[in-house]
Chain A
């Protein structure tokens, strides 16, 4: 049973560029949440997708957008990259009918903005 997978592992971009990160949830899970983890900090919630819709959103600008596909996989898009967007981006999946309390995390994508 594959756990949560994310791609790519690492990414280097320059300011102003756009980036897309991908996440495949754990088998049987239907909800995907994205978190940003700055160096030395705890993860901060970006948004959550369920039934291909954004259900909740944290305090992040509109430059951060996402998508969920019918197979429950998800993408995180960040436009007009800023130096401050450099962070580890974590995807977590959960199962709606189990209350979404227990979230399983992927290994993350390390984004560096130069």
Chain B
């Protein structure tokens, strides 16, 4: 079974600085998708960024970018110019084909003003 591991339960970053959240996953498949979701205190799970495994280029969405290392099964999220609104739980997730999303346990990010 696929597993997703987030080894950092909590992280903090100064406003305007850069932070990187780590994620590793285990799969024997070659074609899959990876996601980072943000869950603020409002509880709404919001998609931050997605990466298709067949694409070598790392995905980027404004201040958010990923470092996708397929061979190492690593998928880290970099947040640049951190803002107070970035404070939330961040979940790494994996999906392949018609299988359901598999989530990590999450990383709680605090942003210090």
Contact = CB atoms under 8 A, between A and B. Distances in A.
> How many residues of B sit at the interface, in one of the four size bands?
20 to 34
Contacts of A92: 45, 101
Contacts, number: 55
Contact of A56 (B46, B47, B100): B100
Interface string A94-114: 000001111111111010000
Interface residues of A, number: 26
Interface string B77-113: 0000000000000010101011111111110000000
A48 interface: yes
Contact of B100 (A58, A88, A99): A58
Interface in A25-42: 33, 35, 40-42
Interface of B: 4, 33, 37, 42-47, 50, 91, 93, 95, 97-106
